[in-house]
Amino acid sequence: MKNIYLVDQNSGPFKTIQEAIDTAKPFSQIKISPGIYIENLIITKNGLTIMSKNEINDVTIISVKRPTISIDLKKDETCSLIGLKISHSGNKND
């Protein structure tokens, strides 16, 4: 059975996606409640599935600086991002 971590910026238990990623064990699911999340994500754990809690694509991740999502896994490791809208709103030099 996979561990499931719930992100909800209003009521938690995790208020940010990165907080859930940092806490999650490999091969866990991170389910995100609807909303706009302004953060940069760094994924370094194998087998994570990061997804919208609902089937509707109602999760938007926006960053202002740096890559919105940075994935640093070994050659044979994977992660999945499902049902997320991703945007970078900074200028091209950030």
Mean pLDDT of 23-52: 96
Number of separate domains in the chain: 1
pLDDT at 93: 54
The values of phi and psi at residue 54, to 5°, are -100, 160
pLDDT tens readout for residues 50-81: 999 987 769 999 997 888 899 999 999 999 99
Full residue range of the structural domain in which residue 78 is found: 4-88
The token pair at 42 is 């760094």
Inter-residue contact 23 to 47 (CB < 8 Å): no
Answer yes or no: is 41 within a domain.
Answer: yes
Residue 93 lies in a domain: no
Q: What is the pLDDT of residues 7-17, one digit of tens each?
A: 999 998 999 99
Residue 33: what pLDDT? 96
**pTM, two decimal places:** 0.90
15 within a domain of the structure (yes/no): yes
**Residue type at 23 in one-letter notation:** T
Return the higher-pLDDT residue of 94 and 20: 20
Report yes or no on 94 lying in a domain: no
